[in-house]
Structure 1
Amino acid sequence: MNYQDFLSTIITKLKEHFDDTVSLELQTVTKNNGTLLDALIIMNPDINISPTIFLNPYYHRYLSGITMEDICDDILKTYEAHRPSESIDITFFTDFEQVKERIIFKLVSYEKNKELLEKVPYFRFLDFAIIFNCLLNADSEDYATILIYNSHLNYWGVTANTLFSYAKHNTPLLLPYQLNNMADLLKDMLPDDADSEALQPMYILSNSGKVNGATCILYDGLLSQIAERLKSDFILLPSSIHEVILVPVDQCEELCAFSSMVTEVNETQLTDEEILSDHAYYYERSKGVLAM
């Protein structure tokens, strides 16, 4: 069964589980890095929002031998687990006074998002772009945002600088950072006789929601605080848009090797929309500067 037939079959089978008042629609959604995904939207007439269920991964599961019945069951379970119980009043989005306390920023690749950047306010940072969202829900299971476009700025009568000012204040408060020692996370996975203390020190930096957590590197003064705590320069590995890995080092001679590691992880472990960068960065404690 080819992919288009797979999508049609999914819709046909799922419709059997709903009455005629519920609509099932397929929408093509542009994700990070220009990745296009097919999303299933199941709309109840009494509720104005619905969880977005991406079907592309399910096709890969079908090709690996998972039955269509099991796939449909999983989609229905996902829908039930995330189905909202009531509508959301988004009329607040027309009033900047109600929006401004929810404005956050997000870090993405500049090169991989040039088409999107023609439509949204952004700022350059190294080889990244800083874009802006309105945060609706910070729960990692139901994380929800509205992307802010240039048209929204025109409607509100505000500038990109205004967005940045609010995002700089709001994002650390709404999505506080978390720094974890990787050795602590690996303890339960290592053999009993393994010495976790012998591992090269590495730290995972993300936010409380574990979504778009790489943005924490923008938090005012945070990298400097971490460097002082570690009493070391560090290499920053952009492991995905959701987190970065910090590796304390004495000098940046190892940067090329770490960049190769980032490239390999991007090619073998991440989906296209999860990639943030193809190389490593170096934070110099004495200068308080993150560099490519």
Structure 2
Amino acid sequence: MTLDFNDDRTYTKDVALKNVRYALFDPKKLRDDVVSAEFLDMVAAFVLMDHFDPNRPRYKIIDAVDMVSLDIKLNEIMDAANENCKKVGYRIMPMEDAISEITGIAIPSDAPYPMYVGTNPERILGASILMYETYLEDLAAQIEDDLCIAPSSIHEVLIFPLSLVQPSKIIEIVRDVNRTVVLPQEKLSDSVYIYRRGTHAISQATLKNPDDSTCEQND
């Protein structure tokens, strides 16, 4: 079966299961027939990754028709996506290191507080790191702080030490970036998320009022 990569390659069930992963999306951006589940105010969906051109990885969001055509059961694709995400892995790195990696130029850190980027090695659909708590736990333990997490797109998240930032300001930045910088199809959420070391849980931040700099957890 061909899954809309606009070429004549055929994807069998085995090939699909070897290349399927989880990805997070804005629920308003997905069709109703996409196989997905709620995750906070986002949705987790299955995507088929395509690396035919190593310099231009592509993905196809799997829908119900694909599942039936390839005779893939829900438990099969869930297990395969989880295993593949773990195999590829994720990374959290200081912002200046992430920029240097892309540009090849050493960037000095002059930010008023540490900022980190969380994504996968390919930087494609890497915001799904939010589904794998161990990476957040490791960073929180390293910096000895809870985390304030801002989705910059479906491909990556920005992470801040919670004690050093005002969540209301981070929400304002996220919303402005989504309006002016992020492509509509790559927008993930206008929300900010809090990871608490004590409970090992991630939740959506709720501000008590627009001027409030503290946030509560929505369980």
Fold-level similarity (TM above 0.5) = yes
Distance apart, 1:107 and its partner CA: 0.6
Structure 1: stretches of 5+ with no match in the other structure: 1-40, 42-47, 50-87, 191-195
1:222-261 equivalences under 5 Å are 222-250=135-163, 254-261=166-173
CA distance in 1, matches of 2:61, 2:181: 27
Instruction: Check whether the contact 2:92–2:135 (CA below 8 A) recurs between aligned residues.
Output: no
1:158 deviation in Å?
A: 3.3
Q: Supply the distance in 1 between the matched residues of 2:169 and 2:69 (Cα, whole angstroms).
A: 47
Answer whether contact 2:133 2:200 (CA < 8 A) is retained: no
Q: 1:160 aligns with which of 66, 74, 80?
A: 74
Larger radius of gyration: 1
The answer to whether the aligner puts 1:182 opposite 2:95 as a matched pair is yes
- Matches of 1:140 and 1:209, distance apart in 2: 10
Q: Deviations over 1:246-267 (max 9, x none)?
A: 001238x822221111101111
Give 1:103's aligned residue.
Answer: 20
Match of residue 131 from structure 2: 218
Residue 197 of structure 1 and its aligned partner are, at CA, apart by 6.0
- Name the CA shift for 1:212/1:220 in 2 (closer, same or farther; >3 Å): same
Residue 119 to residue 208, structure 1, CA distance change in 2 (3 Å): same
Asked if the contact 1:138–1:209 (Cα under 8 Å) also holds between the matched residues in 2, the reply is no
Cα separation, partners in 2 of 1:278 and 1:178, compared to 1, 3 Å: same
Q: In the alignment, what sits opposite 1:126?
A: 40
Asked if the contact 1:133/1:145 (under 8 Å) is kept, the reply is yes
Note the C-alpha offset of 1:220.
Answer: 5.4
Q: How far has the Cα of 1:97 moved from its partner?
A: 2.9
Rounded Cα–Cα distance in structure 1 between residues aligned with 2:53 and 2:126: 13
Correspondence for 2:214? none
How much identity, in percent, do the aligned residues show?
24
The Cα of 1:138 is off from its aligned counterpart by: 7.8
The amino acid of 1:230's aligned partner reads: I
Contact 1:255 1:282 (8 Å CA) reproduced: no
Q: Give the structure, 1 or 2, with the largest relative contact order (CA under 8 Å, sep 6 or more).
A: 2
Flag the 1:249–1:147 CA change in 2: closer, same or farther, 3 A.
closer
SS class of match (2:191): coil
- Match 2:121 to one of 194, 200, 208: 208
Unmatched 5+ stretches in structure 2? 205-219
Residues 239 and 245 in structure 1, CA contact (< 8 A), matched pair in contact too: yes
Amino acid at match of 1:135: M
Cα distance change, pair 236–140 in 1 and its aligned pair in 2 (3 A): farther
Structure 1 residue 268, shift from structure 2 partner: 1.6
Structure-2 separation of matches of 1:220 and 1:138: 31
Alpha-carbon spacing, 1:234–1:157, altered in 2? closer, same or farther (3 Å): same
Please tell me whether residue 135 in structure 1 is matched to residue 52 in structure 2: no
Over 3 Å counting, the alpha-carbon distance change for 1:286 and 1:138 in structure 2 is farther
Between Structure 1 and Structure 2, how many residues are aligned?
195
Q: Is the 8 A contact 1:122 1:132 kept in 2?
A: yes
| Shift in alpha-carbon separation, 1:120–1:229, aligned structure 2, 3 A | same
Let me know the Cα RMSD of the aligned residues.
2.6
1:63-87 alpha-carbon deviations (Å, 9 max, x no partner): xxxxxxxxxxxxxxxxxxxxxxxxx
Query: Following the alignment from structure 2 to structure 1, what is the Cα–Cα distance between the partners of residues 192 and 60?
Result: 30
Deviations 1:201-258 (A, max 9, x none): 010111111121112222352222222222211100111111100001238x822221
Distance in 1, Cα, partners of 2:78 & 2:158: 25
Residues 180 and 258 (structure 1), Cα distance of their counterparts in 2 relative to 1, 3 Å cut: same
Query: Would the alpha carbon gap of residues 158 and 89 (structure 1) be closer, same or farther in structure 2, given more than 3 Å must change?
Result: closer
